[in-house]
Structure 1
Amino acid sequence: MKKTLILAGLISLSPLLRSQPDAHYWQQAVDYKMQVDLNPENHRFTGKQNLTYYNNSPDTLKVLFYHLYFNAFQPNSMMDVRSRNLPDPDKRVGSRIEKLGKDEQGEQEVISLSLNGTACFFENHQTLLKVLLPSPILPGDTALLEMEFRGQVPVQIRRSGRDNKEGVDYTMTQWYPKMAAYDENGWHADPYVAREYYAPYGTFEVDITLPSQYRVAATGTLQNFANYWQEESREEDLILYNLIESKEKTRSWKFRAENVHDFAWAADPEYLHEAQEFNKDLMLHFFYLEDNKENWHRLPRYTQQFFKEMNQRFGRYAYPQFSVIQGGDGGMEYPMCTMLKGTGNIAGLVGVTVHEGAHNWYYGMIGSNENSYPWMDEGFTTFAEEEVLNAMAREPKANPHAGAFSNHNYLARQGAFFEPLTTPADYFSTNMAYGINSYSRGSLFLVQLRYIIGEETFNKTMLDFFKAWQFKHPKPSDMLRSMERASGLQLDWFYHNWVETTKTIDYGFKEIEGKKQGTEIVLEKLGEMPMPLRIKITLKEGIEQRYYIPTASQMGAPDEEGWQVLSPWPWTHPEYEAFLQVNFKDIAKIEIDPGGFMADVNRANNSYPQEEGE
C-alpha cells in the first residue's frame, strides 16, 4: 500500500497514538463498520463487516485470528465441558449448554472474508477463526478486511442471549466476529471458556436492523436521535422518551463509538427509556421493563453520584454517553454501557450499577489483558466500587474493604485451592478461587499499595496512571512502576509476594517491656510475606504516637506528616526490636495497623493489651 495512505491511516488514529508511555510502546488499532439484520421469528441474523486494521507493530503479520464467541453455546464446547467438570460450576451455566436443542444453540459463522479485495483462506476452531492471509500485512500497513457472517442467538445462558429470565428479548454481547488482540507477546487467540476479554481499541459504526417496534440500547451514540425518540414527559431534569412510530416493517438503528474495544446492544419492544444530563458533556440513559419501574426511576440520581465520585477519584469519564440497560443474567460491563438484572431492591441495583459502571474505567478506558490479569480489571473495579459506594453511603465505614479482607483470609485457608494471582482467568481450579483472587485480592493489591506508600501519594498516582494509560493496554508492571516513580520506593518485592506467590502476612507482638528510659517492643514475623508496619501507641491521656517500620527491600519510607520512621526490617529476620522513648506506664494501647488496611491473616496478636475476644 502507498505510504501516503499508511500515514493517513495513522493520523486518523491520533487519539490512540499520542502521549504514549514511552517511545517504544505500540498497540494495534481497528475501525469496524458493520451492518446486522436480526429476524426475531427464528433468532437468526446476517451481517457484513468492513474492518480496517492498523498494524502499528514492528512485525509482519501472516495470519489473523477472530473470536466467534456464540459458538461456545453448543453442546460439547469448551465452555460446556469445563462447566460440567468444575467442582463449583456457575449455576447459570451448569450443564445447560449440553441440553440445548439445535434451535436454542448459539451459532457464529463467517461466510466470506477478503484482505484488500483478495479472498482469504480461514479455519474454524469452534470459538476462534484462524485466517491465513493471501499477502502479509507489513509493519505500518493499513489493511481492509471485508466479511460476510451469519449466526443464531442462543437462549440466555451466560451474558449473551435471548429471552432472559426477566423477559428481555435480546442481550447482544460478543455477537460479531471480533478481531483478537496482538501485542508484543503475539496473538491472544484465547478460546471462550468462561470469561474475560482483550481486544484492540478503535471506532465502531454499527447499523442494526430489526422490526420497527423494537427499542434498541447500545454502546456508542445513537445517530439522528430525534428520528427514533421523542420526549414524552419531564420530571425536573429526568426525561422520559417514547419511540417514534414507523410505517415501515423494519427500522435501522445507527450507532457510533470512538476509542472502544467492543460493541454491545440490547433490544426489546417494551423498553422504557429515561435519560438525564450530567455536567453538560455526558448523557445518562436508562432502559428497563415496566415491572421494575419504581427502582429504576430512582436509579439516575445514584448514577449521577457515582460519576461525580469516579471522576474526582479515578479520572474523568471520556465518552459522551453511558447507558444502564436491563438485560443479561446478572451484571456485565461493556464500553459506554452495562447490562444488568432489573429486579431486586434499590441497594442491589445501585451496587451492581456502580461496579459495572466502574468497569468503564478499568476495562473500558484502561484496557488491560483480562485473560492474563483478571485481577487488574475486576480487582481495580472492586476497589473503586468499594471506595465510591462508601463515599455515597449515609454512614461511611472506616474500612470499606472489610469484605475483601474476609474473603482473602478465607481463601488463604483453602490449601491447594489458594492459587496465585498469576493464574490466567480460565485456569483457576475453582470458580471460588477465580472470584476471590480476581475481585477481592485484586482489590487488596491496591489497598496494600496505599498502605505502603501513603494515601496522598497513592491517590495522586491513580489519577496519573489513568491519564498516562487511557485507551491503552497497561500491564501490572506499568502500575507498579507508576507507584514506584511517585513514591520513590522499590516495590518489586511486594509484587513478587502478593501476585506471584500465595504467601500470607502475619505479624504480632512477641514482647513488650518497660525500661528505665522508655519501652522496648519485640515484633515477630509469623507469615512468609514481608510488609512495612504502621504502629500506633495511644497514651492514657489520649495522645497518639505513630511509627512506620519499612521493609529493608523498599529502600525508603513515605514522607507523611505525623509518622516517625524507624529503622528498616529485613525480610530475612523473624524478629524486630525497637526501643521507644515512651514511658511504659503511660501506655494505654499499642496496635499494629490500627486502621485494619494490611492483609494480616491473624489480627489476634496485633494489639497490646489484646482486645477482648482476640
Structure 2
Amino acid sequence: MNSNRLLLSSLLVFFITSYAFSQNGYWQQHAKYVMDIDFAVAKHQYIGTQTLVYTNNSPDTLTQVFYHLFLNAFQPNSMMDIRSRTIKDPDSRVSDRIQGLSADEIGYEKVETLTQDGKPATFAVEGTVLEVNLPNPILPGASTTLALTFQAQVPKQIRRTGRDNREGIAYSMAQWYPKLAEYDYMGWHADPYVGREFYGIWGDFDVTIHIDSNYLVAATGYLQPTKPTASAKKTYRFLAPNVHDFLWAADPDYRHTTLTRKDGLVLNFYYQDGPATTENWQQLPAIMDRAFDYINANFGQYPYQKYSFIQGGDGGMEYPMATLITGERTLNSLVGVSVHELMHSWYQMVLGTNESLYPWMDEGFTSYASDEVMNYLRSQGLISGSVESDPHLNDVTGYLNFVTSGMAEPLSTHADHYTTNAAYGVGSYVKGALFLYQLQYIMGEQAFKAGLLRYFNTCKFRHPTPNDLIRVMEKQANLELDWFKEYFVNTNHLPDYAVTGMEEGKRKQTIVHLEKIGVMPMPIDVTITLTNGDQLNYTIPLSMMRGAKVQDGNTTFSLAPDWPWTNPTYDLDLDIATKKIARIEVDASHRMLDTNRSNNLLEAANNK
C-alpha cells in the first residue's frame, strides 16, 4: 500500500469519526508519531528521534503532558520489581528476576531533549513516567508539535518486551518508545507501569528502523520501499494509520511466509525453523484464514489490510495488526494462543478500551470470543478436540468454584490494584467473559449476537466504556440493562434462585413457588417437563428490565408476569393440572451464575 493512499485513508477515518463524535459530545485526542531509530545490536541499545503532532480535541486547556517510559520498569527496585516480589502469588515469568538484572541487562529510556513547537520544555522522570511542563498551553481544538530525542536499552526478556527470549528470538520490541499518555473525559492516565495493562491515544505512526542487515524486522503497519544506502545497516520504514501503539520484532533467523486471503488481507507469519516449530507453523496459515472468516462474520469486519503472527515475547501479547507469541507449542496450543491474541484486534485494538480500568472488557470479551472461534475450528475438523454444545459452561463452573475461595474481587478494581494475580486473572478473563455470557442469557441469543456486532460498528476506533456497551445492548434488545452492569461489575454478588414447591390452585391450576436467595437479581427461565415428555418454557423478567426476551436460540418462551427485585418469593401460575407435571427446573440450560444448583430442580414425586 503506498503512503499517499495510507494518508488519505487515515485522514478520512479521522474526519468522519471526529464529525460523528462531535455530534454526541464525545471527543478523543489524536497523535501523529514520526520516529527514526538507529539500533546497535552489539550493545542492545538504540538512539531515536520522535516528532509528535498532538491534537487536543478536549474542552480543556493543557499545561502539562505525560509520557510512558515503559522500559524503565525493568530495573531493580522499580515499582514493577517491588510489586512482582511482594504480591502474594507472583507471576513466574517475573517473580524476582528484575532484581537480579545487571547493568547491561536492565531496560531504560532516557529522554535527552524535548521541545514544544521549537521551544525547550522542562521535564522530570518519575520511574516509568515522564512529566513535562509545557512552555505554551495547548488550547481546546489546537495542535502542537512535541519533538524529543532519546536513547534506550533493551532489557533481557522478562515480560512482553526484551531481548533473547527463551526460544532464541533476538528482539521483541513492545512498549519500546516514549509513549504519550492518554487524556480523556476523566483526565490524564499516566499510570506507573507495574506489568499489567495499557491505554493509548488513537493516531498514526511513521516509524523508520535502521538495524544490521542480517536482521529481518516484523512490525505493526505497512512496509514502505526505501532507497538502498552504503550503510552496513538495513532500513525498514512502516506506516500504521489509525492505531494506538506500535510493535516490532527482529531476528536474523526469522522465516517469513504469507497468505493472502480472498478479501485481500495479507496474513504474515514470522518464526524460526526447528523441530518444535516448523510443522505446526506451516499448518497455521490455513487455519487462521478460516478463523478470520468466522470472526469477521460474527464479531465485525477486520478493518486493516495486514496481520502478523510473530514468534517472540514470553507467552502471547496483542498489538495493532500483530501479535507476539511463543512458538514452540503443540498445534492446538499454537492455534489457541493465535486465536486469543487475534481476537484482541477486536477487543482492544479496534475497540480501544482503557485496559487499566476495564481489563475485563478486553481480556474477558476476547476470552468469550476465542471460545466461540475455537469451538468452530473444532467443528470444522481443523484442530483436534470435541465440539462442545456450549463452550462457555466451563467458565461458569470455574468461576463459581473460585468464588468459594474468598479471593474474588469486583470487576471495578483497577487492573494494577488487584491484591492477587489470581483475582486479576479470574476476574479479567473468566468473569469478564461471563459478563457477555450473562448478557446473552438475559437478552436472548439472537438479540445478543446482533448487539455485539452493533457494539463493534458503533464504537470502533474510539474508547468505549461499560456504559457504551450497555447502551448499545439496550437499544438492540429494547431492555433496560444498567442494573446488570452495576451488580456484575461493582459487586461480588451472585444470584441463587430455588424451586421450593408446587401446589394445586383453586382453579385446578398449578402454582409453582420460587424463592430468591442470592443478593443479585436476574430474570429466571423455568422449564416445565410434563409427564408425556413435552416441555414448556417460561421466562420471568425483572420489572426493572422494562421488557423480556421471547426467543433464545431455538427456544421460544412464554412470558410470565414480572418479578420485582425486592420480593423474596414469587408464585408462577400455570394453567396446567398438577398431576400432568413431572418436573420443574430453574435455568435448565445451566447458563446463569446460580451459586447453588441443588435447589433449582423439583421432581413431582418429591413435592411435599
TM-score (norm 2): 0.93
Query: In structure 1, what residue type is equivalent to 2:289?
Result: Q
Are residues 22 and 388 of structure 1, via their aligned partners in 2, closer, same or farther at CA, if it must alter by over 3 Å?
Answer: farther
Query: In structure 1, what residue type is equivalent to 2:273?
Result: E
Query: In structure 2, what residue type is equivalent to 1:336?
Result: M
The answer to whether the aligner puts 1:328 opposite 2:316 as a matched pair is: no
Cα separation, 1, equivalents of 2:460 and 2:11: 18
Tell me the CA shift for residue 247 of structure 1.
7.9
Tell me the CA shift for residue 583 of structure 1.
3.0
C-alpha root-mean-square deviation of aligned residues, in Å?
A: 2.0
Deviations 1:123-171 (A, max 9, x none): 1011000010001111111111111011100000100000000000000
Are residues 367 and 256 of structure 1, via their aligned partners in 2, closer, same or farther at CA, if it must alter by over 3 Å?
Answer: same
Residue 481 of structure 1, aligned match among 466, 471, 476? 471
The match for 1:243 is none
1:463-482 maps to which residues of 2 (within 5 A)? 463-482=453-472
Question: 8 Å contact 1:508–1:606 — kept in the other structure?
Answer: yes
Question: 8 Å contact 2:316–2:341 — kept in the other structure?
Answer: yes
The match for 2:264 is 281
The match for 1:79 is 80
Task: Give secondary structure in 1 for the equivalent of 2:372.
Answer: helix
Tell me the CA shift for residue 11 of structure 1.
7.6
Tell me the CA shift for residue 582 of structure 1.
2.4
Task: Give secondary structure in 2 for the equivalent of 1:168.
Answer: coil
Cα separation, 1, equivalents of 2:544 and 2:182: 36
Task: Give secondary structure in 1 for the equivalent of 2:307.
Answer: strand
Of 584-593 and 473-482, the range deviating more from structure 2: 584-593
Question: 8 Å contact 1:21–1:468 — kept in the other structure?
Answer: no
Are residues 75 and 578 of structure 1, via their aligned partners in 2, closer, same or farther at CA, if it must alter by over 3 Å?
Answer: same
Residue 418 of structure 2, aligned match among 417, 420, 428? 428
Tell me the CA shift for residue 591 of structure 1.
2.0
Cα separation, 2, equivalents of 1:166 and 1:15: 44
The match for 2:162 is 161
Question: 8 Å contact 2:108–2:154 — kept in the other structure?
Answer: yes
The answer to whether the aligner puts 1:538 opposite 2:529 as a matched pair is: yes
Question: 8 Å contact 1:399–1:597 — kept in the other structure?
Answer: no
The match for 1:231 is none
Residue 496 of structure 1, aligned match among 486, 490, 510? 486
The answer to whether the aligner puts 1:348 opposite 2:333 as a matched pair is: yes
The answer to whether the aligner puts 1:371 opposite 2:356 as a matched pair is: yes
Tell me the CA shift for residue 12 of structure 1.
8.4
Q: How many residues align?
A: 585
Are residues 611 and 162 of structure 1, via their aligned partners in 2, closer, same or farther at CA, if it must alter by over 3 Å?
Answer: farther
Tell me the CA shift for residue 62 of structure 1.
0.3
The answer to whether the aligner puts 1:267 opposite 2:257 as a matched pair is: no
Question: 8 Å contact 1:399–1:596 — kept in the other structure?
Answer: no
Query: In structure 1, what residue type is equivalent to 2:378?
Result: A
Residue 554 of structure 1, aligned match among 545, 559, 565? 545
Deviations 1:505-559 (A, max 9, x none): 1112111335573322111112110000111222233322110001122122124
Cα separation, 2, equivalents of 1:278 and 1:535: 46
Query: In structure 2, what residue type is equivalent to 1:347?
Result: N
Are residues 429 and 589 of structure 1, via their aligned partners in 2, closer, same or farther at CA, if it must alter by over 3 Å?
Answer: same
Question: 8 Å contact 2:259–2:268 — kept in the other structure?
Answer: yes
Q: Percent of pairs identical after alignment?
A: 45
The answer to whether the aligner puts 1:513 opposite 2:507 as a matched pair is: no
Deviations 1:184-222 (A, max 9, x none): 111101000121111111111111111000011111111
Cα separation, 2, equivalents of 1:15 and 1:210: 37
Task: Give secondary structure in 1 for the equivalent of 2:556.
Answer: coil
The match for 1:445 is 435
Deviations 1:459-511 (A, max 9, x none): 11111111111100011011111111222211121111111111111112111
Are residues 325 and 509 of structure 1, via their aligned partners in 2, closer, same or farther at CA, if it must alter by over 3 Å?
Answer: same
| Structure 1 unaligned residues grouped into runs of 5+ | 1-8, 229-245
Cα separation, 2, equivalents of 1:256 and 1:143: 21
Question: 8 Å contact 1:72–1:127 — kept in the other structure?
Answer: yes
Tell me the CA shift for residue 600 of structure 1.
1.1
| Structure 2 unaligned residues grouped into runs of 5+ | 1-9, 380-385
Tell me the CA shift for residue 56 of structure 1.
0.7
Task: Give secondary structure in 2 for the equivalent of 1:144.
Answer: strand
Task: Give secondary structure in 2 for the equivalent of 1:312.
Answer: helix
The answer to whether the aligner puts 1:564 opposite 2:558 as a matched pair is: yes
Query: In structure 2, what residue type is equivalent to 1:551?
Result: L
The match for 2:5 is none
1:383-394 maps to which residues of 2 (within 5 A)? 383-394=368-379
Cα separation, 2, equivalents of 1:611 and 1:351: 46
1:285-304 maps to which residues of 2 (within 5 A)? 285-291=268-274, 292-304=277-289
Task: Give secondary structure in 2 for the equivalent of 1:150.
Answer: strand
The match for 1:238 is none
Question: 8 Å contact 1:105–1:155 — kept in the other structure?
Answer: yes
Query: In structure 2, what residue type is equivalent to 1:79?
Result: M
The match for 1:580 is 574
Deviations 1:92-138 (A, max 9, x none): 00000011101100011111110101011001011000010001111
Question: 8 Å contact 2:550–2:559 — kept in the other structure?
Answer: no
Cα separation, 2, equivalents of 1:541 and 1:301: 49
Deviations 1:383-403 (A, max 9, x none): 111111112223531221122
The match for 1:597 is 591
The match for 1:23 is 24
Cα separation, 1, equivalents of 2:108 and 2:41: 15
TM-score (norm 1): 0.92
Question: 8 Å contact 2:501–2:602 — kept in the other structure?
Answer: no
Tell me the CA shift for residue 15 of structure 1.
4.6
Tell me the CA shift for residue 405 of structure 1.
1.2
Cα separation, 2, equivalents of 1:357 and 1:569: 41
Deviations 1:431-477 (A, max 9, x none): 00000110111111111111111111111111111111110001101
Tell me the CA shift for residue 10 of structure 1.
8.2
Query: In structure 1, what residue type is equivalent to 2:103?
Result: K
